[in-house]
Amino acid sequence: MATPRTVAFHTLGCKLNFSETSSIRRSFEDQGYTTVDFEEGADIYVLNTCSVTEFADRKCRYEVRRALKYSPDARVIVVGCYAQLKPKEIAEIPGVDLVLGAAEKFNILNYVDGIAGTTGKGMVVAGEVKEANTFVDAFSFGDRTRSFLKVQDGCDYKCSFCTIPQARGSSRSDTIDNVVSNAQKIAEMGIREIVLTGVNLGDFGNGTEVIEGTRPQKSGLFIDLVKALDEVDGIERFRISSIEPNLLTEEIIDFVAGSKRFVPHFHIPLQSGSDKILKAMRRRYKSDLYRQRITWIKSRMPHCCIGVDVIVGFPGETDEDFNETYTFLADLDVSYLHVFTYSERANTPAAEMLEAVPMDIRRERNEKLRILSEKKRRHFGDSHLGQVRKVLLENHTTDDQITGYTDNYIRVAIPGDSSGTNTLCDIMLQSWNANGETISGKIL
């Protein structure tokens, strides 16, 4: 086989994974590789995996098969959280040539030549997760009008259901100066919006970052980072991807409320509205604190969009516990829910807990919260009809529409062609489109 010169990527999971895939892609391109679409057939496929749910594991296997369908002789490399957690299992998947752990994935080009002639079982290069103790910066570019900028990695929290600390290691952060420098680079590329990403974003500043060629130094706190980024010229919007309620301080909320560039949109994991279940999950707050955060946000920014993560079917969750969560969310002034059905993850305390909830009941509870989420989303959109908001136009659709998001995360569609993408416009929100997913608007 000739030296590979084409590479394709597929990313599973979170915004952090997207930022890291983009940086890995640029490292290939810097060495002369050409990036092609997944379906085009490539010499090398890189799959960046997630392992938050069992479905994500199955999805990895599916993507390996799909890569080999388009390019039977391709070399397949698997990186990401699943690769760190179950490297030997992945190496046994037919067609996988190389598995790289958390500490090795950013040195992927050091291993490519070593798989050029391999056959059969994949090669594993995955050390202990404790070896993933340095911070490697990353940001996405080229596939979106917004950029996902990684500022933090790893997590020191020990939630009983979560494998992320096992997959990404301890909490560590970039420096404020380096984050600002990356934001300036992104601005020079013509991108209008940056989404700040991390495993535990509000924990920014924890851990000692080690950046090649420099002396280790401590970062400031997340509020210090937010204040520094608000002064970066060229970026119209900064969006905070997800932040724990106990780390989202009133000081951060107040600053965003008066910010020049940070948008009125928070995504705040709840996981359960039952204090009993929150304790079993080893979360670091109670429902009262969560309610206080939502109340404070809405008092400062009534138009703020608030998204919520919630898990149903956690071990020991009774009907009473679920109804407590449902009522808590129904009464809360939030805008949408991301609902996850609990799935057992190996080597987590929750997987060993008794009183497992039957799967049919888990699915039933999931559906109830999804319906509630849709009602919340529609209500939030309805409350903005007739208003004028700035929209970043992003995608041109096949029916001659351009879609984009308001600052507070309402999806809008207007007539137009691709020449209108990556522009910010004042748009009046008029009515829901037939698909129920977007609101039609009129440029002013």
Does the residue 429 lie in any domain?
Answer: yes
- Determine the average pLDDT of the residues in 406-419: 91
The torsion defined by the Cα of 118, 122, 125 and 126, in degrees rounded to 10, comes to 170
Does the residue 290 lie in any domain?
Answer: no
Answer yes or no: is pLDDT of 192 > 90: yes
Query: Do 95 and 48 belong together in one domain?
Result: yes
Does the residue 98 lie in any domain?
Answer: yes
Question: What letter would DSSP give residue 262?
Answer: B
- Determine the average pLDDT of the residues in 172-181: 94
The torsion defined by the Cα of 189, 193, 197 and 201, in degrees rounded to 10, comes to 130
Q: To the nearest whole number, what is the mean pLDDT of the chain? A: 90
At residue 170, the 3 state secondary structure works out as coil
Domain termination site, one of 238, 263, 288: 263
Please report the DSSP string for 386-423 in residue order.
T-EEEEEEEEE-TTSEEEEEETT--EEEEE--GGGTTE
Query: Do 256 and 140 belong together in one domain?
Result: yes
CATH number, domain at 119?
A: 3.40.50.12160
Does the residue 280 lie in any domain?
Answer: no
Domain termination site, one of 131, 162, 188: 131
Residue with tokens 């057992």: 344
> For residue 242, what pLDDT is reported?
94
Alpha carbons 251 and 360: distance in angstroms, whole number: 43
- Determine the average pLDDT of the residues in 63-91: 91
Residue with tokens 């952090």: 16
Query: Do 233 and 137 belong together in one domain?
Result: yes
Range of the domain at 80: 6-131
Does the residue 182 lie in any domain?
Answer: yes
Query: Do 80 and 160 belong together in one domain?
Result: no
Residue with tokens 């990356």: 182
Q: pLDDT-derived band of residue 346, with 50, 70 and 90 as boundaries? A: confident
Does the residue 87 lie in any domain?
Answer: yes
> For residue 25, what pLDDT is reported?
94
Among 23, 21, 42, 20, residue whose Cα is nearest residue 33 = 42
Q: pLDDT-derived band of residue 59, with 50, 70 and 90 as boundaries? A: confident
Answer yes or no: is pLDDT of 61 > 70: yes
Query: Do 179 and 140 belong together in one domain?
Result: yes
- Residues for the chain: how many in total? 444
pLDDT in tens, 100-132: 988 899 999 999 877 755 555 788 888 787 777
Query: Do 257 and 245 belong together in one domain?
Result: yes
**Phi, psi (deg, nearest 5) at residue 24:** -65, -40
CATH number, domain at 195?
A: 3.30.750.210
pLDDT > 90: percent of the chain:
72
- Determine the average pLDDT of the residues in 327-349: 95
Query: Do 76 and 154 belong together in one domain?
Result: no
Among 270, 317, 310, residue whose Cα is nearest residue 289 = 270
Does the residue 127 lie in any domain?
Answer: yes
Sign, CA torsion 163/166/171/175: negative
Q: Which residues of 91-117 are buried (b: 16+ CB within 10 A; e: fewer)?
A: bebebbbbbbbbbbbbebeebbeebee
Does the residue 85 lie in any domain?
Answer: yes
pLDDT in tens, 247-295: 999 999 999 999 999 999 999 999 999 999 999 999 999 999 999 999 9
> For residue 217, what pLDDT is reported?
43
Alpha carbons 431 and 267: distance in angstroms, whole number: 25
Sign, CA torsion 220/224/225/229: negative
Contact 226, 246 (CB under 8 A): no
Residue with tokens 């039609």: 440
Q: What total number of domains does the chain contain? A: 3
Query: Do 40 and 92 belong together in one domain?
Result: yes
CATH number, domain at 436?
A: 2.40.50
> For residue 144, what pLDDT is reported?
67
Query: Do 142 and 124 belong together in one domain?
Result: no
Query: Do 137 and 257 belong together in one domain?
Result: yes
- Determine the average pLDDT of the residues in 123-149: 84
> For residue 313, what pLDDT is reported?
98
Among 337, 323, 249, residue whose Cα is nearest residue 285 = 249
Domain termination site, one of 89, 105, 131: 131
